[in-house]
Amino acid sequence: MFRNIKIGVKILFVVLFVSLFTLSIISVISYTQMLNLTKYSQDANIQLGITASLESKNALLNQTKEYMKNIVNEQAESSNAALRQINAELSALTNFVEQLYAHPEQFTGKAVPYVPDAPEDIVSPKYMFAPGVKESAALRQELRLLSNAEYAFSGVYKNNNMLDTLYIGTESGIMYRYSKYNSFNPKYDPRVRDWYTTALQNPGKIVWIDTYIDPYGTVTVSCARAFKNKQGVYTGVVGTDITLTSIIERILALRIGMRGYAFLLDENCEYIAHPHYGEPSFDTNPLKSAEGSWRDALIDMLNNKYGTWIIETRDEEYYLFSALLAETNWKLCVRIPLKEIVEPAEKTKANIDAYTIEAQGYIRETLAGVIMRFIIIFAVSAIFVVAFSYIMSLTITRPIEELSRNVRKIGGGDLDIKVPVNGSDEVAELGNAFNKMTDNLKGYIVNISKAAAEKERINSELSIAAEIQNDMLPSVFPKFSGSAYFSIFSKMVPAKEVGGDFYDFFYVDKEETKLALVIADVSGKGVPASLFMVIAKTLIKQRMLETNDPAGTLAAVNKLLCEDNRRCMFVTVLICSINLVTGEMIYANAGHNPPLLSAPDGGYQFMELKKGLPPGVMDTSIYQQCSMNLNPGNKLYLYTDGINEAMNAENKEWGRDRFLETANKHFDLEPEAFDGAIRAAIAEYVSGAEQSDDITTIAFTYKS
């Protein structure tokens, strides 16, 4: 019935009906309700005060617990991330030093100044000997080898402002230090220090030594890890002193309320950071004096239990929140008085009680004049409502009708029309919004057209780049498909539009009896890696065609790539040169994954390779050339780390063991079918997860 009535009439009817009906109902029931208002108001306000106090108190406690747990966990994770980075950097430095000892012939080194002779207040390498150690030719040679650590130490030191000093202590009594401090203690023997002995007692693990205050008043902690020599014997320790200033400042800045504060405990529940740390009467071991629930909480944290406690002291109760810094087993805690949390609820109850008393007197005074006022108000209101409803109906409906007409025109595609705007009410705001929408639509249409054209151009260029990159890689057909000596298949699938992996195979002699196989993986992905790949591929092929010398080629290409390598990009490479007549294969490795090689019993195994730094890392790198003989039927499978490091949706790698098992399952397949089986197994494992790295392979079978 009401659907065909205009909105103006509806508004008029609704306002009249609601207003007059409401006035009538109010007039009838108000007097009755007012009689009971005083008693009801008093009882309700008293109950309200009690309920509001309890609910506010519980709400404040629950909100504070959740809020503080989030703050403590977030702060703990932030601090733990900084310590985790230090763990990773120290592991990398230890691995670098182990490489020095494993391949001393590949490094030349340089002279290192004695500690008193090093420049003051400048970050530089320096050394000293432990008491009783006599300088000898062997010590000087070992010290010169250690000087190469500066290549790794300098970058790590520069990029992490928490590192105060980097150092190496050896069983031979050498103390190599990289820092700006020249303090010298002739009685200092690194071999008896906690950081050295603890690291040797935990081989292969990073150890953290208890905190201490350095001579400059800074809270410092030591982190160390033992390293092995070429024979696998632990012969020294790499360590670092870390200043905890930035972490402590963030922790002490956690001020909750007026008296809440944060503090940091070490793995033995002794204070590392506290607002009163360093004061003469401050005891850094709280377990000595802790009692009751405070002592129970400390013991729980010693047993690796974390969460929330209510701590009772002699005069007050506190909330205690804690979280673990997993890298060091430290405990981050926040303590806040329980009274301070619930104080707003207590004040709210007192205010409600005061307002209740005041309201009772006012209600009694007002009740006497209610009846007369209702009669007068009803009469006046009825007249006013009728007149006002009619006027307001016209005021509302006319602008809406005009707006509706213009909106229909805009909907028809006329974006040049403007909706007339009068006044500043909601209808006027709606008109302004439609006008602005019209202008924005015009702009959006233009911008979308430009963006679509630009996206199409970029996609076209990336597509062309991918085609160019694919055309640079050699094709099996037709040149290599009919060889009586071998069969081969290769494939590269980039993770992005263009990739950083590449492969190559080509004859290195005019008689086509010597075949070179090259596989490489450039650091990074995308366009930068693809450009670096083009340079590396071109240099390697040119050099191999000239010399047929894999090790020499790697050395020459490494020197060229190290020049002006500001982005510090590098490439892992494996080069094999096979005499197709005799079966002799010479090869050299530069940090690449070991390929699969068929064993005498018919299965695959990982080929043993000499280690070498990837080209682009250090221009003095030396590469070793090896050789072996292939027998008819021998199979070789070269690949990049996109194979064994393929990730599934749970971020778990495919792995070397699963790779080897799959390869042996399909051992009898020809190169193309074998490569397809490997890739199918990877696709099944990752189950549709996004490809994380380029996947490049060469499958090769030697026939005769």
Average pLDDT value for residue range 563-578: 93
pLDDT given at position 332: 87
- Confidence band of 227 (pLDDT split at 50, 70, 90): very high
Whether residue 214 has pLDDT greater than 60: no
pLDDT given at position 521: 95
Average pLDDT value for residue range 490-508: 87
**27-36, 457-466, 493-502: range with highest mean pLDDT:** 493-502
Whether residue 525 has pLDDT greater than 90: no
What 3-state DSSP class applies to 279? coil
**134-143, 304-313, 416-425, 450-459: range with highest mean pLDDT:** 134-143
d(CA 12, CA 116): 98
**pLDDT tens column, 260-291:** 888 888 888 888 788 887 788 888 888 888 88
For the ranges 383-392, 572-581, 663-672, which has the lowest average pLDDT?
Answer: 383-392
Average pLDDT value for residue range 384-412: 73
Cis peptide bond N-terminal to 478, omega within 30: yes
pLDDT given at position 287: 86
For the ranges 270-284, 576-590, 605-619, which has the lowest average pLDDT?
Answer: 270-284
Q: What DSSP character marks residue 591?
A: B
Query: 361, 378, 373, 377: which is closest to 37 by C-alpha?
Result: 361
Average pLDDT value for residue range 694-699: 95
**2-16, 119-133, 453-467: range with highest mean pLDDT:** 119-133
d(CA 623, CA 609): 11
Q: Is 646 exposed, middle or buried (0-12, 13-18, 19+ CB in 10 A)?
A: buried
Query: 310, 305, 307, 308: which is closest to 329 by C-alpha?
Result: 305
52/637: higher pLDDT: 637
d(CA 667, CA 188): 60
Between the alpha carbon of residue 307 and those of residues 254, 256, 319, 436, the distances in Å are 17, 17, 11, 53
Q: Are 699 and 672 in contact (CB under 8 A)?
A: yes
Q: 179 Cβ partners below 8 Å, 6+ apart?
A: 123, 164, 165, 166, 167
**pLDDT tens column, 540-552:** 999 999 999 999 9
Whether residue 334 has pLDDT greater than 70: yes
Q: Is 562 exposed, middle or buried (0-12, 13-18, 19+ CB in 10 A)?
A: middle
pLDDT given at position 583: 95
DSSP characters for 406-469? HHHHHHTT-TT------SSSHHHHHHHHHHHHHHHHHHHHHHHHHHHHHHHHHHHHHHHHHHHH
d(CA 489, CA 562): 32
Average pLDDT value for residue range 519-534: 87
Q: How high does pLDDT run on average in the chain?
A: 84
Average pLDDT value for residue range 563-570: 89
CA dihedral 404, 408, 409, 414 (to 10 degrees): 120
Whether residue 664 has pLDDT greater than 70: yes
Domains in the chain, start-ordered, CATH in brackets?
7-84+344-399 (no CATH), 103-243 (3.30.450.20), 247-340 (3.30.450.20), 473-702 (3.60.40.10)
Q: Are 151 and 110 in contact (CB under 8 A)?
A: no
pLDDT given at position 273: 80
d(CA 525, CA 571): 12
188/40: higher pLDDT: 188
Q: Which tokens is 479 given?
A: 């040149």
Average pLDDT value for residue range 675-695: 91
Average pLDDT value for residue range 295-318: 86
pLDDT given at position 394: 67
Whether residue 365 has pLDDT greater than 80: no
Q: Which tokens is 28 given?
A: 């009838």
pLDDT given at position 459: 57
- Confidence band of 471 (pLDDT split at 50, 70, 90): low
Whether residue 604 has pLDDT greater than 80: yes
d(CA 498, CA 464): 10
Whether residue 20 has pLDDT greater than 80: no
Kindly tell me the sign of the dihedral angle through the C-alpha atoms of 263, 267, 272, 276.
Answer: positive
Q: 567 Cβ partners below 8 Å, 6+ apart?
A: 528
Average pLDDT value for residue range 214-235: 82
Q: What percent of the chain has pLDDT over 90?
A: 40
Whether residue 615 has pLDDT greater than 70: yes
d(CA 395, CA 8): 9
Count of other CB atoms within 10 angstroms of residue 103: 18
d(CA 520, CA 641): 10
pLDDT given at position 608: 93
**pLDDT tens column, 180-207:** 888 888 899 999 998 999 999 999 899 9
d(CA 523, CA 540): 17
pLDDT given at position 544: 95
Q: Are 332 and 251 in contact (CB under 8 A)?
A: yes
pLDDT given at position 99: 93
Average pLDDT value for residue range 592-596: 96
Q: What percent of the chain has pLDDT over 70?
A: 85
392/295: higher pLDDT: 295
- Confidence band of 399 (pLDDT split at 50, 70, 90): confident
- Confidence band of 662 (pLDDT split at 50, 70, 90): very high
Helix (H) / strand (E) containing 239: strand 234-243
Q: Are 638 and 598 in contact (CB under 8 A)?
A: no
